[in-house]
Amino acid sequence: MEIRVLKYFLSVAREENITSAAKQLHISQPTLSKQLIDLEKELGVKLFERGKRKTTLTEDGMYLRQRAQEIVDLAEKTETALQSNKTTIKGDVYIGCGETQGMREIIKIMKKINANYPDIHFHLYSGNDEDVSERLDKGLVDFGLFVGNTNLDRYNYFKLPSYDTWGLLVRSDDSLANKKTISPHDLENLPIICPRQALNRNELSNWLGNEFNKLNIISTYNLLYNVSLMVEEKIGYAVSLSNLHEVTNENLIFRPFDPQINAELYFAWKKYHIFSKAAKLFLNYCNKVF
């Protein structure tokens, strides 16, 4: 599979129309159609359902779209890294990160680099630990910031000096907002919205003890913004990390758990990973700080 043809495929998948895609690609419609037919023959699968007005992806086509985007992104990332010369360090640094105020420490380093190397550009991808780990393993990001209990055996990493604290996100007019802390008993019979990683890694089970199985989890999430709207609309109470609600919704209040549960922060990269000059410079800056 050629990168050029994969870009053609992605354009048609995005436009859902071969004629429109051909105009954007500045090639003829027959040429584009032939490239797609040849791609289907090469792979031995049907990628598109071709209608009169709309071209839609088959199940195999949807799978290829995801993989093709990863391949194209990785190719462009590699090309940019190789274009950096010895006298001027330039290029792109890709960072996957969970939602945490601890990211400020990384951003301060990014700011220093931007001041000294304006041709280095940073690209952030936000997600939970599973999202970040997947992109890190595939080489789609150079570094990943992980929150809480995480298996880091296949990575090099350093621990950030700061940490987050688990607690409950409630409406400012809710009775629980009057409490300074939240105990396991306070969660009884409440509709709880819980981050998936906290469930998958049992970060709450020890704190809740026997009450864990009684927890009424009505929904799960990976990023907080939409969940903050659910809390505001009185759908439930969200288990969350500290300080994130200040970014998402001023009508909500965070109350920490008691006993306190801390989530450590780790900045990681793949073992034996070969960095671009820009990513290597960024790591050197990090090593001076942490």
Q: Could you list the pLDDT tens digit for every one of the 290 residues in the chain?
A: 899 999 999 999 988 889 888 888 889 999 999 999 999 999 999 999 988 788 899 999 999 998 998 898 888 878 766 765 555 788 899 999 988 888 999 999 999 999 999 999 999 999 888 889 999 988 889 999 998 878 899 899 999 999 999 999 999 999 999 999 999 989 988 999 998 877 766 667 778 776 667 789 999 998 888 899 999 999 999 999 887 766 556 789 999 999 998 889 999 999 888 788 899 999 999 998 88
CATH number of 3-82: 1.10.10.10
Residue of 261, 255, 263 lying closest to 98 (CA atoms): 263
pTM: 0.69
- The first and second tokens of residue 229, run together, are 């709207």
Pick one of 1.10.3720.10, 3.30.70.260, 3.40.190.10, 2.40.50.140 as the CATH number of 165-261: 3.40.190.10
The residues, any chain, with a CB within 8 Å of residue 153's CB and separated by 6 or more, are: none
Angle at 97 between CA 91 and CA 103, to 5 degrees: 90
Residue of 132, 113, 151, 139 lying closest to 278 (CA atoms): 113
3-82 and 165-261, same CATH topology: no
